[in-house]
Amino acid sequence: MSLKIPALDPMTLEPRTGSGYPEPYRSRCLPREKRQLGTALGLTKIGINQTILPPGKESSMRHWHTHEEEFIYVLSGEVVLVTDAGEQLLKAGTCAGFPLGTQDGHQLVNRSSQPAVYLEISNRDPKDRAYYSDVDMVFHGVSANPMFTRRDGTGF
């Protein structure tokens, strides 16, 4: 039987398949499916996505946030977590967390031959910015226009 709010089967949601990234970063992440569970459930304080990352793809470029902490939990498959400390293999049932303001960029890379599925969760703060460790890009917030610039403020 299908579930009704406040319950939800994530796979009944249409996924978000785009990315605000400019090229060539967009193609390093897509195709990728994000189902916005928190929004579908009426939550406003916490953002919750269930993401499917295909083999060979990256969750994001390595980055850290100024005002939003992040948590990820691997549901199936496996991903490689990349941070300043190096690489760690995260299998299903393991997780990682990134306190806000810690200037250690992170990303997940699927180096396996199977899709990886994980939850990504963060508090929501309109003041948030994200800085990218390895590429010349800054994120200015979901309502900013442009959302992404180079570090000197120029657009892509």
User: Per-residue string for binding with a second copy, 33-52, x by CB under 8 A?
Assistant: ----xx-xxxxxxx-x----
Which residues, other chains included, contact 122 with Cβ-Cβ below 8 Å and sequence gap of 6+? 46, 47, 65, 68, 69, 70, 71
DSSP H helices, 78-117, are none
Footprint of a second copy on 52-71 (CB under 8 A): 68-69, 71
The Cα–Cα gap between 75 and 70 comes to 16
How does strand 70-76 pair with strand 116-123? antiparallel
Stretch near a second copy under the rule CB under 8 A, chosen from 15-23, 83-91, 127-135, 146-154: 83-91
The Cα–Cα gap between 42 and 148 comes to 27
99 is a site residue for a second copy (CB under 8 A)? yes
Rg (C-alpha) for the chain, rounded Å, is 15
CB-nearer residue toward a second copy: 19 or 130: 130
Q: What is the smallest separation between the CB atom of 115 and a second copy, expressed in angstroms?
A: 14
Q: What is the smallest separation between the CB atom of 156 and a second copy, expressed in angstroms?
A: 29
Stretch near a second copy under the rule CB under 8 A, chosen from 18-26, 32-40, 126-134, 146-154: 32-40
